[in-house]
Amino acid sequence: MKGNFKAAAALLVLALVVPILSQCSSAEKSATAKPDAKATASAPEPAPLKVGDKAPDFTLPDQNGKKISLSQFQGKENVVLAFYVLAFTGG
Partner 1 sequence: MDSSPANRAFAKQIGVTFPLLSDFNRKVSKEYGILNTEHGFANRTTFVVNKQGIITHIDKDREALDPTGAHNACSLMAHREAEQKK
Rule CB under 8 A: which of 37-76 touch partner 1? 39-41, 43, 45-58, 60-66, 68, 70-71, 73-76
Closest contact distance (angstroms) between CB of 47 and partner 1 is 6
x/- map, 2-31, partner 1, by CB under 8 A? ------x-xxxxxx-xxxxxxxxxxxxxxx
Euclidean distance between CA atoms 36 and 20, whole angstroms: 38
* Cβ neighbours of residue 41 closer than 8 Å, sequence gap 6 or more: none
Which residues have a Cβ under 8 Å from the Cβ of 48 and sit 6 or more positions away? none
Residue 85 CB, nearest distance to partner 1 (Å)? 5
Count of chain residues binding partner 1 (CB under 8 A): 71
Bridge partners (DSSP) listed for residue 31: 85
Q: Which SS3 state, helix, strand or coil, does residue 71 take? A: helix
The CB-of-3 to partner 1 minimum distance in angstroms stands at: 13
